[in-house]
Chains A and B, each alone.
Chain A
Amino acid sequence: MSAGTTKKPARPAAPRSAAAPKGSEQRVGRRAVSERGACAARPSTSSRGSDPHERLRRVLFLVPYAVKHRGITVKELARKCGITEKVLLEDLDFLLGVGSPPFAPDDFLDLYVEGDAVHVALHQSFSRPPRFTESEAAALAAAAQALGGEGKDRALGALRESVPRDRRAAFDELAGRIYAGSPPARDSVLGRLQRAIAERREARIRYYTATREAESERTVRPWTLAQRFGHWYLYGFDLSRAKPLPFRLDRIRECSVTEQRFEPPSEAQLEKARLFSDDQGEPVRIRLGPLAAAWALSRPGVRLVERTGDAGAVVEVAGAREDWATRFALSFGGDAEVIAPASARRHFCETIKRALARY
């Protein structure tokens, strides 16, 4: 491509800005954008920011999002797109050059920053994002399959309909190429929890507590579902204990949605929210033989303390309860033992003694 044959004219920024009613403000904003992006060879901050394909996907969302949320701040829009403010301003600068033939002034996209707010004067039909690509829909479908729930098939059906017609076969195939885990609870239990969350209603659950080995009835304001180390949890405010607590989904035996509505948790409450207490106590230490070491070290949350002479290892797991540590060590079939702290060692040895008595 030689520059001489290019028909597309450069964006006529100055005359348009001057002609616009709020010209002075716009110019300030626009200059702010162009100045930051003005250096000829713009080195981008991150590889993600400079990847042209990623940029295209991003701006196809960014433009309609800014159209929908008029005056959104640069900071908020950058956060929503998962990029730095600098990269966002580069994106806005790039978009000023986008338009369609015959490339008259009104044929270009027109976005500007005024104060700290992003405005879209001309969106050139990019007023809504494109349909899901097959990999977007397949990733979401895999996540939904792994969670489950009564509405799963309806949700997957709607997702499929939102992929361009030509790409649905590719979506079907790709969705069958990822399996993100088996659903953590019965569909009916999950379906009701999802409804309770979406409608902000209190839920009554029958819950198995592992430490007490007993079931109890609880009334919970379900705030959300979250996943950690391969397990799913309901996180919400337990009314009888008067504090937010996690409930493992695979220990919820029954669930019913009540008529009682609740206010959403405040940002401050969610800010403080943790699935597990920060005060994790002393980490558990486990000595592993060579075979067990290879497996254990590929698990999340397991930290290597030292290699032992026989290609084994000593590892640490933070925040683990004694019964968990015992079971974890035993899952290596004799090739691992809990060594510290003393109380965890004792739990391990006593469990072995009792288990041996069965044989």
Chain B
Amino acid sequence: MQKAERLLDLAAFLLRAAEPISWHEIQEQFPGDYGGSAEAAVRKFERDKAELLELGIPVRWSSSDEDLPPGYVIDRDEFYLPNLELAPEDLALLYLAGSAALAQGVFPYARDLAHALNKLSFAARAPGASETAALAARNLSRDEHGNGSRAGEGSIARKLEELSGAVAAKKRVHITYQGAERRARTERDVDPYGLYQSGGAWFLVGHCHLRDDLRTFHLARIEDLRRNTASPRTPDFAVPPGFELRELATRETWEYAIHPPRHCTVRLESPVSPEARASFGARARLRDEPGGVVVEVSATNAEALVRHVLALGDRAEIVAPRELRDSARSILAGLARRCA
């Protein structure tokens, strides 16, 4: 019997059973599948159980009930998707967030997300308005050509899918990486700890065996990617307990560790847009004053702060320290010469 068919047969069998099914009976009912040597049959059954669990079907060994014989069961309560007892607006959050993410065309576990959204329609009594809005979100998030993928995104989506699997199974990957600053191509092994999105681009964070340190990789610069396929269900590494993806992901560019911290002051002239305020991140201190806002940050990569302030246009300026102010002026003077 084909494996897919066997797995569903097994699930149907256990779901229907009124009491736990002994190993002996399973063997008897599936002689062609779990026959042969005892050890091989048990191993095959264990693999099938693991695969069913990956599909969301937990098969459990039950021996605690005194009135029933010991055996394998699928608890119906543990199998069927329950109703999510959520208010309509909370359900809308899941629908809208999931649909928009899927429509980006580039999202980790994109296939899983599509399955999850499908399942959501079972998990609520009246998804109504939210479901319609989610459909609209998917339409809108696509580009004008009617599909979600733009130039180059197909390959990013494939890398994300591969990396998502590697992150979940904790499998090592081998990558060929085109560095941005040094512009050199390197090959390295990476233990993938997590994936994050920033400014519309996806990044891999992991332990880099070449540098023996934690490193971040821009997915668009990963030219080749191979996942360790040996022992797919055995992890290659453990993620260190103190690892916080969120901390790394919310790091501003001027917070990359390049030099010791320097205190910097920026001034924004009114009217200051909400996103200009927000652009300095969670750790900046903002002070409103007549005619504008003063921003104080601690920078460990001051060059990046200069770029950020320049990008805010002609109503933002670096106030201190002096060298940074000079650096901004010299960049602007250079560009002004090219404009002349």
Given A59-B8, A61-B119, A349-B339, decide whether A226 and B197 contact each other with a Cβ distance below 8 A: no
In the complex, what distance in Å separates the CA atom of A168 from the CA atom of B13?
25
Q: Any chain A CB within 8 A of the CB of B193?
A: yes
Q: Any chain B CB within 8 A of the CB of A7?
A: yes
Contact with B along A317-359 (1 / 0, CB 8 A): 0000001001110111110010000000000110111111011
A333 touches B273 (CB 8 A): no
A358 touches B90 (CB 8 A): no
B265 CB to closest chain A CB, in angstroms? 14
A284 CB to closest chain B CB, in angstroms? 15
A residues within 8 A CB of B249? 179
Candidates B89, B91, B98, B312; contact of A191 at CB < 8 Å: B89
Q: Any chain A CB within 8 A of the CB of B58?
A: yes
A291 touches B218 (CB 8 A): no
In the complex, what distance in Å separates the CA atom of A94 from the CA atom of B311?
57
In the complex, what distance in Å separates the CA atom of A245 from the CA atom of B160?
32
A140 touches B116 (CB 8 A): yes
Given A8-B9, A100-B12, A273-B139, decide whether A197 and B339 contact each other with a Cβ distance below 8 A: no
B307 touches A229 (CB 8 A): no
Q: Any chain A CB within 8 A of the CB of B310?
A: yes
| B interface secondary structure, majority | helix
B residues within 8 A CB of A311? 183
B55 touches A60 (CB 8 A): yes
Contact with A along B70-95 (1 / 0, CB 8 A): 00000000111110111111111110
Q: Any chain A CB within 8 A of the CB of B96?
A: yes
B136 touches A224 (CB 8 A): yes
A56 touches B55 (CB 8 A): yes
A56 CB to closest chain B CB, in angstroms? 5
B273 touches A290 (CB 8 A): no
Of B126-134, B256-264, B283-291, B293-301, the one touching chain A? B126-134
Candidates B96, B122, B137, B144; contact of A274 at CB < 8 Å: B144
B56 touches A146 (CB 8 A): no
Candidates A132, A291, A301, A354; contact of B180 at CB < 8 Å: A291
Which B residues between 167 and 181 are near A, CB-CB below 8 angstroms?
Answer: 167-168, 178, 180-181
B residues within 8 A CB of A64? 122
Contact with B along A289-332 (1 / 0, CB 8 A): 01100110111110100000001000000000001001110111
Q: Any chain A CB within 8 A of the CB of B150?
A: yes
Q: Any chain A CB within 8 A of the CB of B240?
A: no
Which B residues between 1 and 35 are near A, CB-CB below 8 angstroms?
Answer: 1-5, 7-9, 12-13, 15-16, 29-33, 35
B residues within 8 A CB of A227? 100-101, 103-104, 137, 141
Leading 10 A-B pairs by shortest Cβ distance: A230-B200, A298-B220, A6-B32, A151-B90, A130-B56, A349-B339, A331-B311, A198-B88, A101-B29, A139-B109
29 CB-based A-B contacts, threshold 8 Å: A2-B32, A6-B1, A8-B32, A61-B115, A100-B12, A101-B9, A124-B12, A128-B81, A130-B56, A130-B80, A131-B80, A136-B115, A139-B108, A139-B110, A140-B97, A144-B93, A178-B109, A178-B195, A180-B107, A182-B250, A198-B92, A225-B133, A228-B141, A232-B100, A298-B201, A299-B201, A332-B307, A334-B310, A359-B328
State the A residues within 8 Å of B (CB).
Answer: 1-3, 5-8, 52-57, 59-61, 64-65, 68, 80-82, 94, 97-102, 109, 124-126, 128-140, 142-144, 146-147, 149, 151-152, 154-155, 158-159, 161-162, 164-167, 173-174, 176-182, 190-191, 194-195, 197-200, 208, 210, 213-214, 223-230, 232-233, 235, 248, 250-251, 253, 264-265, 270-271, 273-275, 278, 290-291, 294-295, 297-301, 303, 311, 323, 326-328, 330-334, 337, 348-349, 351-356, 358-359
